Amino acid sequence: MTADQELDALGLLCPLPVLKARKRLKAMAPGEVLCLVADDPAAVIDVPHFCAESGFDLVSQDAEGSATRYFIRK
């Protein structure tokens, strides 16, 4: 999957990955895709919940070692 923008949230703990994603998505155009890379264990729960509550589409999530890539469509 390709993304229009990528956000590196490695090393950040809850709630920072979601807060940074929200800020970045706010500035993006509808239909654009953000790739959020996070290694916070809580992100596997927080990111899908954030997307569902905010009306964003979690297109996919892929684990890569200790990190996970979340593709979020605005």
Q: What is the dihedral of CA 65, 32, 57, 38, to 10 degrees?
A: 20
Of 14, 16, 28, 59, which one is the catalytic site residue?
14
- Active site includes 14? yes
Given a contact cutoff of 8 angstroms between Cβ atoms, the answer to whether 46 and 14 are in contact is yes
For β-strands 5-9 and 33-38, DSSP reports them as parallel
Residues with a known catalytic role: 14
